[in-house]
Amino acid sequence: MDYRLSEEQQAIVEMARRFTADEITPFAGEWDEQHVYPRETIRKAGDLGFGAIYLEESAGGIGLGRLEATLIMEAMAYGCPSTSALISIHNMASWMIARFGSDALGRRFLPKLTSMEQIASYCLTEPGSGSDAASLKTRAVRDGDHYVLNGAKAFISGAGENEIYVCMVRTGEDGHKGISAFVVEKDTPGLSFGTNERKLGWHSQPTAMVLFDDARIPVENLIGSEGDGFRIAMAGLDGGRLNIGACSLGGAQRCLDEALGYVKERRQFGRAISEFQNTQFMLADMATELEAARALLRMAALKVTEDAPDKTRFAAMAKLKATDAGFRIVNDALQLHGGYGYLMDYPVERFLRDLRVHQILEGTNQVMRMIVGRDLLA
């Protein structure tokens, strides 16, 4: 096993870092403070292929693996975890269409998705079904050449702004076997959106409910077959969990770097606080946790790329480790900044707010433990 990145992978990292330094980092604080959805920046990411990272080239993607995707997400999250996570969600939804949808469905939607001229949202969670996703209530009833959708989705990133919504809805019996997946377009009659949620973080992307009131969806918008929706949704989440873990690593690395710079300059008791052993021990723990999480995430990414039998368990383990460690590292970085870390003049508090939700979305970290425990005992 070679822990070193290849020359091609290192070139991908450098490209993503340059893009982040030029197009994301200088503006991320403003996006957060003013709740700006940076569509133009996201389109520029699409120009680099970042809207279709692990889609095959035949589908308009750049044909990279899941490891390369995590490298890109980590690099962009160094500037803004919220924006990087939004691009991750778009990749997940687009991949679901490319991987499980018909050729005709791909031809209709993928060209504008891969370029990020259009952006996709992933719609699974509902007001009454979060961790228990298989209990979702939104229903689609076949009516001739259409399905008629009624229900609501909650906490949807990009809702009201994005053009495409990959939605898991019930077409059959209760439980996961009765769920199907559909592509729903923003201008569909009967589709509407709730007001933007007032969130702790992730201010650079809108979050709202997606509402269906007799929304008519062409039969051709079905992804795969009826009853495949839950399996498709879970397959998407393997990659989504890797990417959100990578976003935590990028944010944690940024805050570790900020803390390293601060403790060398901040003086108390007549010397830089970097000279105190307590400070050095905190930094040592932060760096060790970060590297351990990064190693597990990259191992899991290789397993997902290879379609290994234990890929779902490792994706859950990596998401659990990276998001828990990432938040602790950012919190410790804020502590090392003292009172200044609590101010918006310093970026650490923004990363603290942004990374907190990573322990909740793409499956809570409690659910990640359930997945790992059940797989170990199977």
The residues annotated with a catalytic role in the active site are: 362
CB 61 within 8 A of CB 108: no
Query: How many Å apart are CA 90 and CA 50, to the nearest integer?
Result: 10
Query: How many Å apart are CA 211 and CA 301, to the nearest integer?
Result: 34
Give the phi and the psi of residue 81 in degrees, each rounded to 5: -60, -35
What DSSP string runs through 97-141? HHHHS-HHHHHHHHHHHHTTSS-EEEE--BTTBSS-GGG---EEE
**Dmax (CA) of the chain:** 79
CB 10 within 8 A of CB 69: no
Cα dist. 7→11, 49, 297, 327 in Å?
A: 6, 18, 20, 30
Cβ count within 10 A of residue 375:
15
Tokens of 221: 């918008």
CB 116 within 8 A of CB 51: yes
3-class DSSP assignment, residue 151:
strand
3-class DSSP assignment, residue 170:
strand
